Amino acid sequence: MKIPTVLLSVVISGFLISPAVADCGKVTIADMNWNSASLIANVDRFILQHGYGCDAELVPGDTMPTGTSMVEKGEPDIAPELWSNSLKAAIDKGVAEKRLRVAGKSLTDGGEEGFWVPQYMVDKDPSLATIAGIKAKAKLFKHPEDDNKSGFYTCPAGWNCQISAGNLFKALKLKDDGFELVDPGSGAGLAGAIAKAFTREEAWFGYYWAPTAVLGKHKMVKVDFGSGADREEYMTCTTSAECENPKVTMYPPSLVETVTTESFARRATEAFGYLQKRGFKNAQMNELLAWVEENQADGNIAMEYFLKNHEATWQPWVSTEVAARVKKALAGL
Amino acid sequence: MAEPAIRPLVQVRGLSKVFGDNPLVAMERIGQGHSKDQILEQTGQTVGLNTIDLDIQAGEIFVIMGLSGSGKSTLIRHFNRLIEPTQGQITVDGTDVMTLSEKQLEQFRRHKMSMVFQHFGLLPHRTVIENVGYGLMVQGIEKSERRKKAGAWLDAVGLDGYEERYPAQLSGGQQQRVGLARALCTDADILLMDEAFSALDPLIRSEMQDQLIALQDRLHKTIIFITHDLDEALRLGDHIAILKDGLISQVGRPVDILLRPADAYVEAFVRDVNRARVLTADVVMQPPSCRLTNENLEEALRQMRGEEKDYGYLFKEDNFRGIVSRRAIEAEISKSGLKVDLIQLLEKPMSVHPGASLEKILPTTLGHPYPIPVVTDDGDFQGVVSQKDVISALTETRG
Amino acid sequence: MAAARPDTPYEMEMVMAVENWLTTFPEMERADLIAIRKALDAGYRAFSRSYGDLIESLFDPLLYFLVWFEKLLLSTPWWLVILIVVGLVYGASRSPKLLVGVAVSLLLIGYFGMWENTMRTLSIITVCTILSITLGIPIGIMMARSDRTQAVVTPVLDIMQTMPAFVYLIPVVMLLGIGKVPGVIAVVIYAIPPVIRLTNLGIRLVDKEVLEASMAFGATRRQRLWGVQMPLAMPTIMAGINQTIMMALAMVVIASMIGVKGLGQPVLKSITNQYFTMGLFNGLAIVTLAIIFDRVSQAYARRTQRHLQGNAHG
């Protein structure tokens, strides 16, 4: 008797959710290659699939290629954690041309960028939390290839942050204190440099951003430039390669948004509604990233951990029925 | 050709070599008299050499002959220990080669033995003169002396003018001359020649054999020569050892091998040999049947009638003087008047060299009614060769 | 349509939820896997903490040399560098055609604004090649001398050649930070196998009779190695060196991911940003360097090994 019951339930539940299925269909979600984005992408996949009946699939992505592809090709459907500052013009244009839709902020506090030093250095010398202290103790931060110089680990070549970090380096006149830009070559190179410094408690000074696994694991202090954030200057000059005379400004919080294609927003209104509500506080994300780091979990496992242990966080994002379906699917994991 | 009584220069005793990971098992079976094939089947070990005993005299060319797989190349590499034996002993001039340390062995190889290889084994990146002087270079002898000595040996093998060529620019025969000069250049007493002429064209090979014989007449080295070619073995060897499946089938002089094969294997081997080319006058010659010492005509005639011979061989104080026919004496005696001296009746002596092949002396023996004297270059009378001797040597199957 | 397809993915999952080792691979418990990963990571971190400084200081001379050599190339006037390179090319190959080709290529590289990066890459490749040769040839010799060494080293070489570079970049960076030294190490790990393999092969392929001849004349092991085996293996070893250089150049882009400056950096940059032309130009500059190295080393090998061929007979 069991088999017919199962079949029946399959048919009935299939019938019940059919409107959502018809709307949503196949959905591709960009899985960026850093942990927070991967976590969010996996959460989205699970909720869209089990809560809204979408045929959701993760595709690898990265800020620039994904953003460009969404504008030009209309895929993937969802970029769950897009650092849109770097793509501002393209996204604005996409929205204006009705190709893209911004669902909301995936990190409600926005992303943090800045120049950082390890916590253990600041514990020993609190002045290192300010740029003046860093400049005064420049000798501490040895250049990896030249003992007579100091090294500032900048954003990897070819990344958008390379321009802003370079401009701020210039504005802060770090060169006058013996600093030189050290190009780590890649995100892995930059993270590796930080990890190496932390294992041996060496001095380190460079660009990084939060929330990230690296900053979750390695406690760092954002260096205060004493200038506050000047969003206007930042937008017009700091982030521009043509900026001739950059001024000192802290990084304004980056807009970290959930962006979807217009076609997805139109065909899956309910699912889009979920994406509009779905957003993480940096504090939550830090906690999650700490857990991910601790357990070396991939996005899928992190998603399971999050959905099982932080119900209070995600339940408000969805309707009761959807929550029930998601929970049922969770129980089957 | 009496066997010298002095101690042999090189002595091999009970030498065995087994290839494989467990030679001792194979050695046990060898002891029990199992054959090479049996041992391979039972133990997976390959017997290379099976209890070899050899004596090699100073100054001789000792040929080790066998087909491929017989173990001859393995054997020659034991003399200078390019291959380590599983069991057995090799003594060279009183030195047990097997007990030498690495350093001693290097010295032994530098001064006692040198080697010529089938495919020449020349250093392709060095010039001809450097190759010839290689042994001296290894010894640490300085360049000018090396060049002087190497140049002289290059002359000796007929390659002067080729000093600055590279081996690849020479023909095979020329390369092997370089190999020979290199081996001679160290003044080692013993020369190992591993199929030294086998890679050469037949014509060049025979030239090289001639050159080796000529050099050996001058140098009197002890040469251990490996070959698979019986003709070559018979031509060069003072003694020949025949090797089959790692076992010695027969050791002996060429004529022994040829005329008295020890077993069916050797017999099958020698069956196709061109005896006319290999056998020499000294092998088939006989003592003269009618030796005249008296110059008196009547006396000589009486002796010849007594021995029923048509021809007599006149000796005076052990020196061979010539041949005289019975008919000539009878005619002289029946003539009236003054009798001439026996000496004046002598026919012009027609002689052959003891080393001449039957092929060469056959026309002479056929062309004369009497057995032809065999006389050395120094005029020493050795014996006589008759048509009958030659023909029977060429046709007989067993000695 | 939906009613006709009750097997939506999530329903399927419910039906398939039955555990079945026949259809799903019996995996290790995730917790155990994590424990293993954590233990290995912690172990490596502890190793890095205890010996990192020591190991880093061992590489200091290499770092000084790298920095010095790069500065030398960068501070030498461009025309002098071209003259020297062209001189070396001619010395090695004796070919005027090759000389002109190299000079024109270098002039074009400079004209397209890639001179500095080319010099940086040239410097690091030169050092990597020298390092690979000085380490690789002795290892190859040891392999050729002992079958046991060969049996141990061969799988290590297989791993070095097939393991994705990113896998060992991370531990190298953890130990030595970013920059030239870890870059050189990564490049050498990737590029050294051919010179080791071909040294081993070259020595093992040396005509057995020639080697026997040298033994028969009482040559010592050293005399055999340097007088016979190495010279005769040289064409093969040269082919190995040639391959090593090519592989080192191929690693330039990967090495730039851990902060090695040079032609790899703009290539990496153009990958991130889809700068097609920038990538193409710098890629072509790498190819040009490769061709110069290749042609020159081959011409050198041919010229020095000519007598081995035995062309001019008689």
Q: How many CA atoms lie within 13 A of B369 on its CB side?
A: 10
- C-beta atoms of C220 and B106 within 8 A: yes
Touching A (3+ Cβ pairs <8 A), the chains are C
**Token pair 């090319």: residue:** C89
Please list the pLDDT of chain A residue by residue as tens digits (333 residues): 444 554 444 444 444 444 444 467 899 999 988 888 999 999 999 999 999 989 999 999 888 888 888 988 888 999 999 888 778 888 888 899 999 999 999 998 888 889 999 999 999 999 999 999 999 999 999 998 888 899 999 998 888 888 999 999 999 999 999 999 999 988 888 988 998 999 889 999 999 988 877 887 888 889 999 988 888 898 888 988 888 899 999 998 888 999 999 999 998 888 999 999 999 987 688 778 878 877 878 889 999 999 999 999 999 999 999 999 999 999 887
Burial of B202 (0-12, 13-18, 19+ CB in 10 A): exposed
Residue C219 at interface with chain B, using a CB cutoff of 8 Å? yes
Cβ–Cβ contact A213 with C under 8 A: no
Reading the block at residue B145, the tokens are 């002396």
In this prediction, residue A20 carries a pLDDT of 42
Asked if C229 reaches chain B (Cβ–Cβ under 8 Å), the answer is no
Residue B51 to residue B53: CA distance in whole angstroms: 7
Helix axes C96-111, C276-304, angle to 10 degrees: 160
The partner residues of A31 in beta bridges, in order of sequence, read: A60
Please state, rounded to an integer, the average pLDDT across all residues of chain B: 87
Q: Considering CB atoms only, which of B117, B124, B169 is closest to C232? A: B124
Which of B115, B117, B168 faces C310 most closely, judged by CB atoms?
B168
Of C213, C219, C232, the CB nearest to B115: C213
Burial (0-12, 13-18, 19+ Cβ within 10 Å), A256: buried
**Of the partner residues B80, B107, B120, the one whose CB lies closest to the CB of residue C216:** B80
pLDDT at C258: 87
Distance from CA of C121 to the nearest CA of A (A): 15
Domain segments of chain A as ranges: 5-110+255-331, 112-238
- A158 touches C: beta carbon within 8 Å: yes
According to DSSP H, which parts of chain B are helical?
23-31, 36-43, 72-79, 102-111, 128-132, 134-139, 143-156, 172-185, 202-219, 230-236, 254-259, 264-271, 275-278, 281-284, 297-307, 326-334, 342-345, 358-367, 387-395
Domains A5-110+255-331 and A112-238 share a fold: yes
The answer for C 153-172 residues in CB contact with A (under 8 A) is 166, 169-170
Provide the 8-state DSSP code for B285: -
Domain C44-313 sits in CATH at: 1.10.3720.10
For residue A76, whether the previous peptide bond is cis, meaning omega lies within 30 degrees of 0, is: yes
Measure CB to CB from residue C231 to each of B105, B107, B125 and give the nearest one.
B125
C312 contacts B122? CB cut-off 8 A: no
* String of DSSP letters for A26-40: EEEEEEESSHHHHHH
Q: Which residue has the higher pLDDT, B343 or C138?
A: C138
User: CATH fold of A5-110+255-331, please?
Assistant: D-Maltodextrin-Binding Protein; domain 2 (3.40.190)
The continuous run of DSSP H or E covering B85 comes out as none
C218, C227, C308 member nearest B124 (Cβ): C308
- Model ipTM? 0.77
Instruction: Provide the residue ranges of all domains of chain C, joining segments of one domain with +.
Output: 44-313
Residues of chain B in Cβ contact (below 8 Å) with chain C? 77, 80, 82, 105-111, 113-115, 117-125, 134-135, 137-139, 166-169, 171, 182, 186, 192
Can you give the pTM of this predicted structure? 0.75
Long-range own/partner contacts, residues A165-173 (CB < 8 A, 24 or more apart): A165/A115, A165/A207, A167/A237, A167/A238, A167/A239, A167/A240, A167/A243, A167/A246, A168/A115, A168/A225, A168/A238, A168/A246, A168/A248, A168/A249, A170/A246, A171/A238, A171/A246, A171/A247, A171/A248, A171/A249, A172/A131, A172/A135, A172/A225, A172/A248
Minimum distance, in Å, between the CA of residue C202 and any CA atom of chain B: 15
Which residue among C37, C178, C258 sits closest to A296, beta carbon to beta carbon?
A: C37
Tokens of B83: 């291959």
Residue B7 pLDDT greater than 90, yes or no: no
- CB contacts of B101 in chain C (<8 Å) are none
- How far, in Å, CA of A89 to CA of A72, rounded? 14
Q: Does A290 touch chain C (CB under 8 A)?
A: no
* Binary contact (C212, B77; C-beta < 8 A): yes
Q: Write down the CATH number for the domain with range A112-238.
A: 3.40.190.100
Query: Chain B contact for C222, CB < 8 A?
Result: no
Nearest-CA residue of chain C relative to A294? C38
Selection from A288-302, B172-186, B246-260, C30-44 with the highest mean pLDDT = B172-186
> What is the C-alpha to C-alpha distance for residues C117 and C138, in angstroms, rounded to an integer?
32
A125–C contact, CB cutoff 8 A: no
- pLDDT in the model for residue C312: 42
Report, as an integer, the average pLDDT of C265-280: 85
Task: Give the per-residue pLDDT at B34.
Answer: 83
Alpha-carbon distance C1 to nearest alpha carbon in chain A (angstroms): 8
Residues in A closer than 8 angstroms to C258, CB to CB, are 184-186, 188-189, 192
Residue C2 has pLDDT above 60, yes or no: no
Q: Considering CB atoms only, which of C223, C313, C314 is closest to B138?
A: C223
Identify the top-confidence range among A243-252, B37-46, C60-69, C132-141.
C132-141
Is B135 in Cβ contact with C212 (below 8 Å)?
A: no
How far apart are the CA of C225 and the nearest CA of chain B, in angstroms? 12
Q: Which residue of C has its CA nearest to B174?
A: C314
C147/B contact by beta carbon, under 8 A: no
Touching chains A and C? (3+ Cβ pairs < 8 A): yes
Chain A positions in Cβ-Cβ contact with residue C63 (cut-off 8 Å) = 145
Q: Which pLDDT value is given to residue B22?
A: 84
Residue at B100: amino acid letter: L
Residues of chain A in contact with residue C9, where contact means CB-CB under 8 angstroms, are 49, 55
CB-based contact, C307 to chain B, within 8 Å: yes
| Interface with B, mutate which of C211, C217, C236, C309 (most B CBs under 10 A) | C217
